[in-house]
Amino acid sequence: MDILYLLVPLSVILVFAIGVVFWWALNHRQFEELDEIGQSIIDDKDA
């Protein structure tokens, strides 16, 4: 039962850390134009 005093706050901190990283990625437009990058590999414009 004592381990819960460690694991619960640790998991809350981990959830907040993941939320901060996700929020940063959204604000820095990391998820914009994902289809264009994948399509550029298929198109092969160099040839």
Segments of the chain with pLDDT less than 50: none
CA distance 30 to 32: 6
User: Which tokens in the block code for residue 28?
Assistant: 């820095």
Q: What pLDDT shows up at residue 3? A: 96
Q: What pLDDT shows up at residue 38? A: 76
**8 A C-beta contact, residue 31 and residue 25:** yes
**Whole-prediction pTM:** 0.66
Q: What pLDDT shows up at residue 11? A: 98
What is the length of the chain? Answer: 47
Residues 12-21 have pLDDT tens digits of 999 999 999 9
CA distance 31 to 21: 13
Nearest 5°: phi and psi at 46?
-70, -25
Q: What pLDDT shows up at residue 47? A: 55
